[in-house]
Amino acid sequence: MADERTVDEQALDEVVRFTSDLIRIDTTNRGGGDCQERPAAEYAAARLAEAGLEPTLLERTKGRTNVVARLEGTDPSADALLVHGHLDVVPAQAEDWSVHPFSGEIRDGVVWGRGAVDMKNMDAMILAVVRQWARAGVRPRRDLVIAFTADEEASAEDGSGFLADEHPGLFEGCTEGISESGAFTFHDGSGRELYPVAAGERGTGWLKLTARGRAGHGSKVNRANAVTRLAEAIARIGAHEWPVRLTPTVRAALTELAALYGVEPDLDDVDGLLDKLGPAAALVEATVRNSANPTMLNAGYKINVIPGEAVAHVDGRYLAGTEDEFRATLDQLTGPDVEWEFHHREVALQAPVDSTTYANMRAAVEEFAPEGHVVPYCMSGGTDAKQFSRLGITGYGFAPLKLPEGFDYQALFHGVDERVPVEALHFGVRVLDRFLRTA
């Protein structure tokens, strides 16, 4: 077990305070540019400056602020590591919550509020570690580029996309990066603790479907009804059974989980294998296939008028190497009377699980959670790692948290009563400190 004194009490206090402070800064991203990250960006930049760093604030759009700073390592020949977190959060309806979602309240050893797990907790961990190092005179081996971004919860056009496209020089030398959604405790219900580390993401294919037909009176027969055409296409998409497609990360996850549970890793019968993995199957089942879920419909303006156009939106996700198949399938499902286009598209990602960086992440978690089992997994959704991949940066999900049994971490992403235990934040700082010292 590592000497926990490598992280001082001030760092443990600061990670809690920073998480609470950041939650109280309302950075709700409603989409369409309706967000102001600047107050949170200024807060993060001030904490970095107090640690001797020289943060740069950058905006594509007024108020949509990003922070970037570089911490020089001891080995100038080593590749740099990007450590990034986003500052924006999704909306929250206060009347649905047990506490106000932007209170940052600390109650019974838990920090409450929107962003507690997605992802102001990780932002606070990064700040706490960097400041701990400044007090102790610690420098990492590799250069660390620290980035706090805007707009991750929408298009990332004002955040990581803007940084990657307009300021690539700030990330010179970065070959790998870490960010959200990995190294959290997953309790399998039988006493085992799993710590999934993300080594891949499905691609984002948000689709706009448009059906056109003949407008007319609602009382007349109409064989070219745009609403009917759209509804038929949406029904086909919703009912489609996507075939199994295994990426290297998902294969590795299935193989390691099968070994852990003592079952045959039959990758020719993935559904049967998932059945044998019990609750742990939840880490994998959403990423063995592509998916397309209808989410929005818009048509018509009066009940007795058949409109000439109907529109729908679909949340599509595709695995690495399957985008061509995804496109062809949508062509078939929409049919000749419905057009579709990408409303928003981002690439699928794949990261190696046999890299030195992955091994160091595993070692850091196991040092502070020796009873845990680190396994790779692929995210069903996406993060800012997609945009940073344009710069050749391989992304991992690594935001460590040790969570108590019954704490449904994944359900709290964008959920009601989002919260994080204080002890989980302390664990995260210790693990992140250990990993970044040795990365």
| pLDDT band at residue 410 using 50, 70 and 90 as cut-offs | confident
Q: Is residue 354 part of a domain?
A: no
Q: Are 220 and 205 in contact (CB under 8 A)?
A: no
Extract the tokens encoding 261: 């549970």
Give which of 167, 194, 165, 150 is closest to 70, Cα–Cα. 167
For residue 346, give the amino acid letter: E
Q: Report the DSSP beta bridge partners of residue 177.
A: 82, 395
Q: Report the DSSP beta bridge partners of residue 69.
A: 146
What does the pLDDT read at residue 408?
A: 87
Residues 117 and 219 both lie in one domain: no
| Whole-angstrom distance, CA of residue 160 vs CA of residue 340 | 27
Percent of the chain whose predicted confidence (pLDDT) is above 70? 99
Residues whose CB falls within 8 Å of the CB of residue 426, separated by 6 or more in sequence, listed in order: 12, 15
What is the rounded end-to-end Cα distance, in angstroms, of the chain?
18
Strands (E), 300-351: 305-306, 309-318, 338-346, 349-350
Residues 30 and 176 both lie in one domain: yes
CATH of the domain at 220: 3.30.70.360
Q: Are 196 and 376 in contact (CB under 8 A)?
A: yes
Q: Is residue 420 part of a domain?
A: yes
| Whole-angstrom distance, CA of residue 182 vs CA of residue 410 | 11
Condensed to tens digits (0 to 9), the pLDDT of residues 65-87 reads 999 999 999 999 999 999 999 99
Q: Report the DSSP beta bridge partners of residue 345.
A: 205
What does the pLDDT read at residue 188?
A: 94
pLDDT of 3 above 90 = no
| Whole-angstrom distance, CA of residue 367 vs CA of residue 430 | 10
| pLDDT band at residue 247 using 50, 70 and 90 as cut-offs | very high
Q: Is residue 195 part of a domain?
A: no
> What is the pTM (predicted TM-score) of this model?
0.94
Q: Is residue 356 part of a domain?
A: no
Dihedral over alpha carbons 245, 390, 118, 416 (to 10 degrees): -60
Residues 132 and 46 both lie in one domain: yes
pLDDT of 2 above 70 = no
Q: Is residue 288 part of a domain?
A: yes
Q: Is residue 281 part of a domain?
A: yes
Residues 282 and 417 both lie in one domain: no
**Strand 110-112 vs strand 419-421: parallel, antiparallel, or unpaired?**
antiparallel
Residues 236 and 172 both lie in one domain: no
> At which of 319, 346, 373 does a domain end?
346
Percent of the chain whose predicted confidence (pLDDT) is above 90? 96
> At which of 300, 326, 346 does a domain end?
346
Q: Are 194 and 366 in contact (CB under 8 A)?
A: no
Q: Is residue 253 part of a domain?
A: yes
Condensed to tens digits (0 to 9), the pLDDT of residues 159-206 reads 999 999 999 999 999 999 999 999 999 999 999 999 999 999 999 999
pLDDT of 1 above 50 = no
Residues 176 and 236 both lie in one domain: no
What does the pLDDT read at residue 134?
A: 97
Residues 393 and 423 both lie in one domain: yes
- Residue 309 C-beta-side C-alpha neighbours within 13 Å: 5
Condensed to tens digits (0 to 9), the pLDDT of residues 294-311 reads 999 999 999 999 999 999
What does the pLDDT read at residue 6?
A: 79
Going from the C-alpha of 36 to that of each of 20, 224, 346, 404, the distances in angstroms are: 18, 45, 24, 34
Q: Report the DSSP beta bridge partners of residue 111.
A: 106, 420
Residues 212 and 168 both lie in one domain: no
Residues 25 and 143 both lie in one domain: yes
For all residues of the chain together, what is the average pLDDT? 96
CATH of the domain at 72: 3.40.630.10
- Domain enclosing residue 335, as ranges: 203-346
For residue 120, give the amino acid letter: K
Residues 237 and 273 both lie in one domain: yes
Residues 164 and 48 both lie in one domain: yes
Which helix (H) or strand (E) is 384 found in, with range?
Answer: none
Q: How many folded domains does the chain comprise?
A: 2
Residues whose CB falls within 8 Å of the CB of residue 354, separated by 6 or more in sequence, listed in order: none
Residues 174 and 242 both lie in one domain: no
Q: Is residue 370 part of a domain?
A: no
Extract the tokens encoding 15: 């990670």
> At which of 295, 323, 346 does a domain end?
346
Extract the tokens encoding 372: 């845990």
Kindly report the number of other CB atoms within 10 A of residue 104's CB atom.
23
What does the pLDDT read at residue 263?
A: 97
Crossing angle of helices 226-239/323-334, nearest 10°?
A: 140
pLDDT of 284 above 60 = yes
